[in-house]
C-alpha cells in the first residue's frame, strides 16, 4: 500500500512551527512497513489543497491530510 501525507498550513511554510503530525505518522508507517511515497506541505489555499488532493490520488492508495498545527 502506498501512502502520501499532505500537511496543510501556511504557518508550516513561513515560521518555526514544526510539522510534528506528519513526522509522527511517517515514523509509525515505517514501523509497520507501509510505503510512504511522498510528504508534501502546502499553504492554506483552497485551490492548492484541491490540487494536492488530485495529485496525491494519482500517486498513492491512501492520502492523509493534516492541518491546524499552528
CA pair distance 2, 44, nearest whole angstrom: 25
pLDDT for residue 70: 54
**pLDDT tens for residues 17-32?**
888 888 899 999 999 9
pLDDT for residue 9: 92
* Domain total of the chain: 1
Q: What is the β-pairing status of strands 62-67 and 2-8? A: parallel
Place of cell 513526522: 23
What range defines the domain where residue 36 resides?
A: 2-67
The CATH number that applies at residue 25 is 3.40.980.10
pTM for this prediction: 0.85
How many CB atoms sit inside 10 A of residue 69's CB?
A: 15
Amino acid at each position: 500500500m502506498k501512502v502520501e501525507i499532505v500537511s496543510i498550513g501556511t504557518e508550516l511554510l513561513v515560521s518555526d512551527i514544526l510539522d510534528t503530525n506528519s513526522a509522527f505518522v511517517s515514523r509509525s508507517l515505517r514501523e509497520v512497513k507501509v510505503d510512504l511515497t511522498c510528504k508534501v506541505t502546502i499553504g492554506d489555499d483552497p485551490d492548492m489543497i484541491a490540487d494536492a488532493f488530485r495529485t496525491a490520488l494519482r500517486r498513492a492508495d491512501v492520502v492523509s491530510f493534516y492541518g491546524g498545527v499552528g
